[in-house]
């Protein structure tokens, strides 16, 4: 089944750059991100926040992972915080892999817009932020208002 190349656009709103991708992340889309995003990162005053909106991405080419890590490292060096917003589990997995190999503590992955906004606006460290989200999810599953499913 032939894949469709990603549609890429970068929008600036205040001190935030949002990168929208759709369909398949491939070599062409990585080049397009670099062409559109890197000049804006260089021309922005200070260190902007960067949100990669991957909600419309269905798949990715495994061969571009190294290029994505290199791109992430460049972005991490110029951005204050970065978040990957992805609805699909395998796309979130890619984002986690990128963050891990780029060794970037100022980046995270979000499942929804509220989580992405929280990461960019709150000053919490990634581990604290993740633990709070996990405890909230467990609480929602068990129906208790207590962390760890209400266990003592």
At 26, is the secondary structure helix, strand, or coil?
Answer: coil
Higher pLDDT pick, 27 / 124: 27
Is 82:50 a contact under the CB 8 Å cutoff? Answer: yes
Residue 3: CB atoms within 10 Å: 13
Pairing between β-strand 49-60 and β-strand 82-85 as defined by DSSP bridges: parallel
The helix/strand count (H/E) of the chain reads as 5, 5
pTM over 0.85, yes/no? no
Per residue in 57-98, pLDDT (tens digit) is 999 999 999 999 999 999 999 999 999 999 999 999 999 999
CA separation (Å) from 104 to 19, 39, 99, 150? 18, 21, 6, 33
């Amino acid at each position: 089944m032939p894949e469709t190349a990603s549609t890429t656009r970068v929008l600036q709103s205040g001190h935030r750059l949002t990168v929208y991708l759709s369909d398949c992340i491939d070599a062409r889309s990585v080049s397009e991100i670099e062409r559109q995003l890197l000049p804006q990162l260089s021309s922005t005053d200070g260190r902007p926040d960067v949100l990669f909106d991957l909600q419309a991405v269905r798949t990715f080419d495994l061969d571009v992972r190294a290029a994505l890590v290199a791109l992430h490292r460049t972005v991490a060096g110029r951005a204050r915080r970065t978040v990957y917003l992805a609805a699909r589990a395998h796309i979130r997995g890619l984002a986690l892999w990128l963050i891990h190999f780029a060794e970037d503590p100022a980046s995270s992955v979000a499942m929804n817009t509220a989580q992405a906004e929280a990461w960019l606006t709150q000053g919490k460290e990634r581990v604290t932020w993740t633990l709070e989200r996990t405890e909230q999810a467990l609480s929602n599953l068990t129906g208790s208002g207590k962390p760890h499913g209400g266990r003592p």
